[in-house]
Amino acid sequence: MAQKIWRRFEGKVAIVTASTQGIGFAIAERLGLEGASVVISSRKQKNVDEAVEMLKNKGLEVFGVVCHVSNAKHRKDLIQKTIDKYGKIDVVVSNAAANPSVDPVLLTQESVLDKLWEINVKATVLLLQEAAPHLQKGSSIVIISSIAAYNPQPAMFMYGVTKTALLGLAKALATEMAPDIRVNAVAPGSVPTNFAAFITKDEAVRKIAEEKTLLQRLGTAEDMAAAAAFLASDDASYITGETIVVAGGLPSRL
C-alpha cells in the first residue's frame, strides 16, 4: 500500500471499535501503517487475538481488548486499558453496528428497535462519555455511518434510520466539543464484508449494486479506511461536523 509512507499518526494512540474484521479492521490497519499505536476491539477474544496477530505480523503496534459496545464494563475497560498502556487517546473511531432484523419498520419488534438504538447510536455516545476526559486539543473522533443514512434500503430501513441519527450526532458533538476536538463521520457505500454478505453471495444482487454506482464497482474496506484516516488526521484540521460519503457516486442527500 503506497499510502503507508504517510506517517500522519506517528506517536498517536487510536481506538477503533468493532475492528477485528471488515471496515473496522481496515481502519485499524491503515492508522497503524501510518504510525499510530492502535487499540482494536470486538466481542470475542478469539477474534481479537487473531486480528492482533495479523497486525503485529505487519510490524504494527497494536493492543487488543474484548469490548461489546453495549456493555458498560467493557466500554470502561476499553478506555482504561488504553490509558494504562499508552497514557493517552488521540483518535476514537466508532464503528460498531448491528442489523438484527429485516422486518419492515411497522413490523419491527420493540426489542429489536431497542437493540438497534443501543448498539448503533447509544453505545457511541456512552463510549465517548468514557473517552472524553482523556481527549486533548487536537484529538479527533470519527463515527462510521452508512449510505443507508441517506437512502434506507428494504430489509435495512430501521438500520438506516439509526445511521441517519449518527449524522446528527456528529454535528451535535462537533459543536459541543469544539474548538479543541473535531468530530466527523464517514458514510460507506456497498462494501463486500461479512456484515454485507447479502450483496456478494448473490451475483445478480452484486451486479445491481455495482451498476447503481457511478464508478460501476463496490467499495473496498480500504476505501473506507482512507477516508477515516484523512478525517482523523491533521490534514483535516479545518473539517468538523461533516460526513464524507464514500459510495462511488450513489445519491446522498437527506
Other beta carbons less than 10 A from residue 182's beta carbon:
25
What per-residue confidence (pLDDT) applies to 31? 98
Q: Which cell goes with 28?
A: 485499524
% pLDDT > 70, the chain: 96
Compute the distance between CA of residue 244 and CA of residue 187 in angstroms, rounded to an integer.
Answer: 6
Compute the distance between CA of residue 216 and CA of residue 208 in angstroms, rounded to an integer.
Answer: 10
- Can 159 be counted among the known catalytic residues? yes
Kindly compute the dihedral angle of the four CA atoms of residues 131, 135, 138, 143, in this order, to the nearest 10 degrees.
Answer: 0
Provide the CA 215 distance to its chain's centre, in angstroms.
23
Share the mean pLDDT of the chain.
95
pLDDT at 1 over 50: no
pLDDT tens for 181-210 read 999 999 999 998 776 666 667 888 889 989
pLDDT tens for 28-56 read 999 999 999 999 999 999 999 999 999 99
pLDDT at 249 over 60: yes
CB 145 within 8 A of CB 96: no
Using DSSP, state whether 152 is helix, strand or coil.
Answer: coil
Please state, in angstroms and as integers, the Cα–Cα distance from residue 131 to each residue in 37, 46, 91, 140, following that order: 16, 25, 10, 11
pLDDT at 118 over 50: yes
Using DSSP, state whether 191 is helix, strand or coil.
Answer: coil
pLDDT tens for 121-140 read 999 999 999 999 999 999 99
Q: How many residues does the chain have?
A: 254
Q: Which of 86, 150, 159, 238 is catalytic?
A: 159
- Radius of gyration of the chain from its Cα atoms, rounded to whole angstroms: 17
pLDDT at 92 over 80: yes
14 sits in which H/E element: strand 13-16
